[in-house]
Chain A
């Protein structure tokens, strides 16, 4: 009997250690990035263009802007598409078509991001014959569409049927009900999910490697190769130069700070009233 009780305490202690270990990984990551990254973070890092290896004073201003451009374009292209598809699934869907769409979106969601990059390369870069921010944004949009669709459907479905009935009983048509009652009611959840989705693709590197590629200088418009934070981190980290390594840490810190802020803000600020669960 005592033996069984001992086993009980030991096993639960072990599981507690597992949980502790898992949680501490995050703190390790944060710790390292803060330590190494903040030492290399400087005003010139944020505002200067990259310099040849060995030259001091280089920065990643173009990469920061490039990531911003990519995300803007992605949001403009992918979010409305995913949103409208989600509205369809939640409000208008009939028959087996919605199920097929849902399944396909899940499939698309699970495709490794590098394969999405290959696809974007084939349909944008090859015809255009050069790398571009547009191609990168197309790749990221393809990733953002299923996420946005899923989250829109989930939160619109959660709006109680009785609200729809209230509007219909007042003589509103279906689309008016959706636009003026259902969507506003589910808006918070949809916004949270969308922010999380865009944040997720913001950190993706693989699909950008051969779509938006990279750039030593500022890129104007959408048609040129564009530097981005994740790609710069990759390129600098595997390079042999110490200065570039330091910059990689700084960039990593900036990127992680952005990601975590978006995630924490979206979950804590926007969702206390929303029950979040995929």
Chain B
């Protein structure tokens, strides 16, 4: 006793048509959304260019090298913000990399797997803390501490760097740990078999083997630091000038956009801010691209050696 009267000869053409159409439709719909992402990104770049046309036409490349940011006088230059952004990020890296790499080494080499997983879980939660909350703690906890330690204003480039360092720490730890864990056992074992201590095998063999992934994590952390807005805005001091001392206040690209965008006094002002956004966009895209290449190459490596 059959249950389906369709058993037997091949189905008629119309059903075949309907069936194929179902697959085609599904592919078309999903492909449209996938393509939409390309459109969105293209539109973003286009808008950034379009809306910064005024200052790009007026100042050209000199925009990047001018120190003056004076909305009232109509003079716009990106240098103070480039300095602020890069200085805070570089300082943040200088603090976060040794700390983060140390933690990663501990988690990958020394800690038993379950403790390592548990601690990594906690550290990755740090990445989930919103920027504005880091800013909150920065303003009410860190700034008084900095003032007590000798910074005249409390806010400034160094303060911002400290907050940034804490914010990028989880990325460095997490990705470096992955890179270290992906180093094949044979490498460690070879070193130990030759009589090296655990630290020596770790530092002289494992870490160098994972160096591309570690460097990748640094680039990624740098890219995030450059784009960090809220926490930096709240503790950097908002001074669009370049000072020699890192204890002095400064300004970052993201911070000035956040502060001045809604109060831009002229179209030129707005254009200048958007051009700053364009600069930031390119910087982060470049760094992220490099980071991805580096991290990808370590996870692929495994058994080979460059």
Contacts and interface: CB of A to CB of B under 8 A. Distances in A.
Do A and B come into direct contact in the complex, CB within 8 Å? yes
B187 interface: no
A4 B197 contact: yes
A64 to B, nearest CB: 15
A170 to B, nearest CB: 12
B123 A234 contact: no
A153 to B, nearest CB: 10
Contacts of A263: 125, 128
Interface residues of A, number: 89
Nearest to A116: B44
A123 B47 CA distance: 8
Given A12-B199, A19-B103, A238-B234, A176 B125 contact: no
A88 B31 contact: yes
B133 interface: yes
Interface string A105-149: 111101111111011011100000000000000000010011001
Contacts of B198: 8, 12
- Which of B40, B47, B136, B223 gathers the greatest number of chain A CB atoms within 10 Å? B136
Contacts of B194: none
Interface string A245-278: 1001100100110011001100100000000010
Contacts of B102: 14-15, 17-19
Nearest to B98: A18
A113 B44 CA distance: 12
A16 interface: yes
A155 interface: no
B12 to A, nearest CB: 16
What is the interface residue range for chain B against chain A? Answer: 35 or more
A19 to B, nearest CB: 4
A18 B125 contact: no
Interface stretch (A41-49, A158-166, A186-194, A201-209): A201-209
Given A118-B277, A173-B19, A230-B132, A4 B258 contact: no
Given A15-B105, A174-B23, A203 B37 contact: no
A169 interface: no
A256 B48 CA distance: 33
Contacts of A19: 102-103, 106-107, 111, 119, 173
B136 A145 contact: no
B38 A107 contact: no
Interface string A12-28: 10111111011101100
Contacts of A205: 130-132, 229-230
Contact of B34 (A98, A112, A255): A98
A122 B261 CA distance: 12
A15 B43 contact: no
Contacts of B100: 18, 22
Interface stretch (A55-63, A68-76, A79-87, A216-224): A79-87
Interface stretch (B65-73, B241-249, B280-288): B280-288
A51 interface: no
A123 B45 CA distance: 12
B203 interface: yes
A263 B125 CA distance: 7
Contacts, number: 258
A104 B37 contact: yes
B38 A100 contact: yes
Contacts of B277: 114-115, 118
A26 B34 CA distance: 37
A227 interface: no
B216 interface: no
B30 interface: yes
Contacts of B37: 85, 101, 104-105, 108, 145-146, 149
Interface of B: 19, 22-23, 25-27, 29-31, 33-38, 40-41, 43-44, 47-48, 50-51, 98-103, 105-107, 109-111, 119, 121-123, 125-126, 128-137, 139-141, 166, 169-170, 173, 178, 197-200, 203, 223, 226-230, 233-234, 254, 257-258, 261-262, 273-274, 277, 280-281, 284-285, 288-289, 292
27 contacts: A5-B197, A15-B106, A15-B109, A19-B102, A22-B173, A25-B169, A26-B123, A29-B134, A33-B133, A36-B140, A84-B29, A85-B34, A88-B27, A92-B26, A108-B40, A114-B229, A115-B281, A118-B261, A121-B261, A173-B23, A175-B27, A203-B133, A210-B262, A233-B132, A237-B140, A237-B234, A252-B136
